[in-house]
Amino acid sequence: MLTGDDYRKSLLDGRETFFEGRRVEDIGAEPALDIAVRSVAAGYDRHYAAGPDARNPLMEAPRSIEELRDRIPMLHAVDVLTNVTYQSLMTLFTVGGRMAEGSEEFIERMHAYVDDARARDIRITECITDAKGNRANPPSRQTDPDAYVHVVDRQRDGVVIRGAKLHITGASLGHDLMVMPTKNMKAGEEEYAIACAVPVNAPGVRIVNTTYAPRVADARHFPVSSRNAIPDGFVVFDDVFVPNERIFLDGQGRYAAVFAHSLGLWERLGGIAFMVEEADEMVGAAQLIAEANGTAGIAHIQEKISELVIHATMLRAGLESAITHAERTPEGYFYPNELFTNAAKFQGAAQYNLMVRHLHDIAGGAVLTAPALSDFDNPDTGPSLRKYMSTMDGVDGEYRARLFHLIRDLTADAYGGWRFVTNIQSGGGLFAQRLVTRKHYDMDRAKQIALRSAGIEE
């Protein structure tokens, strides 16, 4: 296994990564990106165990409902990149169980890859969303054939791929890119049915980063994002060679969507696991600021806190049910129930903006206008700010300002914006979640109930 230091060194492998118009040679030297490096390195140190047989226990496929349930608090404790690595590996386990005969070689490669990845203790990001070109047309009918990642050359020992993958969280921070097709491929689109693992520093890979990391020196002003910000990558595959042993699907169009669906499931589970904590955090922030404002006993404030509580509880009910009703692959691995996972993800995404509105309505305008903590440090302004930001005995002005900064960082600043968008977009937009939920619902039973009620015999 790797230590945090090992990890930092591993990033200096010649990867071509860019940020705001410049090539970044050393990610850790770029302050806006180093936040992520620090967070991942700390994660390595936390999980590190010595010895050649040491493995990160999180990365083992759950073999029972209880094991699956135990992963949830573990996921809450780890950094985003480790989370994404977990989702990538679990996807491979689930995919194996969903591919049929004739895919034995691919399944074997996946198992070998997972074993090796765990032994090397690497971090893997999931690369799914293609550039897509004109949404009205399938991959094979695009003006630009590269709108979806595809094989452009075949060699004895591997293939060459071209295209781009977008919105890849942590792409520049990991070691491997897990490339998968974004949907099912039809006859004639075999070259687009490609899944494989590509090292970040493979020749031809170029990543352009964006980040919501705070640009202000004083981290206290951004208590969450100054520790958690992780860049998203726009990943270009410019004729990248992939050796055979790293290819997990090649040309079997009918299995293309198995990858996307399996990944989608794990991504949404990760999503609701995060949302459940996020919802509890919002409840806590709402209650704390109401108490600090002296408004916790006012009826309409209590109502809004109750709605935040109910939201958090219903999301938790969805997560719990997704796990209680987990399903089993033929190989004995457990994965969460599709129906509950998707319904809860939808609920979380659909209600999130309203919950933020409640939080803002509870907290008040100082979410925006609470002075910086450096203004509290300044002897010319600090005493006045402390005096006027205090509301009563026992509520320190600076403490109250910190709560406002928390709420601003979570919901009304760059990181807050990232949450607004990713809560909807991760795992597909609201439309996708509506679709998948409908697909997994027992519609026949529902129709039977209605027919019986209508007095109609079938």
* Residues numbered 298-327 forming contacts with a copy of itself, rule: CB under 8 A: 298-300, 302-303, 305-307, 309-310, 312-314, 316-318, 320-321, 324-325
Task: Single out the residue of 230, 167, 228, 239 nearest to residue 198, CA to CA.
Answer: 239
The per-residue b/e assignment along 273-312, b for 16 or more CB within 10 angstroms, e otherwise, is bbbbbbbbebbebbbbbbbbbebbeeeebeebbebbbebb
Q: In the range 330-349, which residues lie near a copy of itself by CB under 8 A? A: 339-340, 343-344, 346-347
The smaller minimum CB distance to a copy of itself, of residues 187 and 299, is found at 299
Q: Does 270 bind a copy of itself (CB under 8 A)?
A: no
CB of 357 to a copy of itself, least distance (A): 4
User: What's the burial of 407, exposed, middle or buried (CB within 10 Å: 0-12/13-18/19+)?
Assistant: buried
The per-residue b/e assignment along 168-186, b for 16 or more CB within 10 angstroms, e otherwise, is bbbbbbbbbbbbbbbbbbe
The smaller minimum CB distance to a copy of itself, of residues 55 and 220, is found at 220
Q: Does 31 bind a copy of itself (CB under 8 A)?
A: no
CB of 317 to a copy of itself, least distance (A): 4
Q: Which stretch binds a copy of itself (CB under 8 A): 98-106, 192-200, 244-252, 289-297?
A: 289-297
The smaller minimum CB distance to a copy of itself, of residues 250 and 375, is found at 375
Residue 329 CB coordination number (10 Å): 15
Q: Does 112 bind a copy of itself (CB under 8 A)?
A: no
CB of 452 to a copy of itself, least distance (A): 9
Phi first, then psi, for residue 209 (nearest 5°) are: -100, 145
Q: In the range 424-453, which residues lie near a copy of itself by CB under 8 A? A: 424-426, 429-431, 433-435, 437-438, 441, 443, 445-451, 453
**Helical segments of 295-442, H only:** 299-324, 338-363, 366-369, 373-377, 382-389, 397-411, 414-425, 430-440
| Count of residues interacting with a copy of itself (CB under 8 A) | 147
Phi first, then psi, for residue 390 (nearest 5°) are: -75, 145
Q: Which stretch binds a copy of itself (CB under 8 A): 15-23, 81-89, 93-101, 182-190?
A: 15-23
Q: Which residues pair with 19 in a beta bridge?
A: 22, 209
Q: In the range 197-236, which residues lie near a copy of itself by CB under 8 A? A: 206, 208, 210, 212, 215-216, 218, 220, 223-224, 232-234, 236
Rounded distance between C-alpha atoms, residue 365 and residue 11, angstroms:
42
CB of 402 to a copy of itself, least distance (A): 5
The smaller minimum CB distance to a copy of itself, of residues 12 and 421, is found at 421
Site string for a copy of itself, 381-400 (x = CB under 8 A): x--xx-xxxxxxx-----x-
Task: Single out the residue of 431, 88, 65, 64 nearest to residue 265, CA to CA.
Answer: 88
Question: Is the Cβ–Cβ distance between 258 and 196 less than 8 Å?
Answer: no
Torsion of CA 191, 195, 197, 199, to 10 degrees: 40
CB of 250 to a copy of itself, least distance (A): 23
Q: In the range 57-86, which residues lie near a copy of itself by CB under 8 A? A: none
Site string for a copy of itself, 135-164 (x = CB under 8 A): xx------xx-xx---------------xx
Among 55, 145, 372, 386, binds a copy of itself (CB under 8 A): 372
The smaller minimum CB distance to a copy of itself, of residues 119 and 368, is found at 368
Q: Is 159 helix (H, G, I), strand (E, B) or coil?
A: strand
Rounded distance between C-alpha atoms, residue 349 and residue 327, angstroms:
24
Q: Does 173 bind a copy of itself (CB under 8 A)?
A: no
